[in-house]
Amino acid sequence: MVSLEDQVGPEARALLHELIATDDVAERELLRGHERFRIRRAMDALPEAQRMVFALSHFEGLPHAQIAGMLGIPEGTVKSRMHHAYRKLRDALTEEE
């Protein structure tokens, strides 16, 4: 049995491999974009106080103590809000799968 790749010349074979690779990249980008959309939607559903501490911690890289100082709240409140944000995000993202 002769494969399609064996029937075409080296230029066509290279083009075929490029098309397959490009399709894989496009599919990965599409999936990555969909994941970003799901995460953004789940974050937007968080109460503002939870969204704020989550964003400051994860996107700005700030420690809990610094977030507490910035927001004028106890560090324990920051930790509590983070805990609730994680739980809601986890629930929202696993619910959609």
Give the DSSP letter string of 30-66. HHHHHHHHHHHHHHHTS-HHHHHHHHHHHTS---HHH
Identify whether 68 is part of a domain. yes
What pLDDT, on a 0 to 100 scale, did the predictor assign at position 95? Answer: 78
Q: Is the pLDDT of residue 2 over 50?
A: no
CATH number at residue 47: 1.10.10.10
Identify whether 3 is part of a domain. no
Identify whether 83 is part of a domain. yes
Identify whether 1 is part of a domain. no
Identify whether 2 is part of a domain. no
Q: Do residues 53 and 71 make contact, with C-beta atoms less than 8 angstroms apart? A: yes
% of the chain at pLDDT higher than 70 = 71
Identify whether 37 is part of a domain. yes
- Structurally, how many domains does the chain consist of? 1
Could you report the per-residue pLDDT of 66-93, keeping only the tens digit for each?
A: 999 999 999 999 999 999 999 999 998 8
**What domain range is 45 assigned to?**
8-96
d(CA 10, CA 60): 50
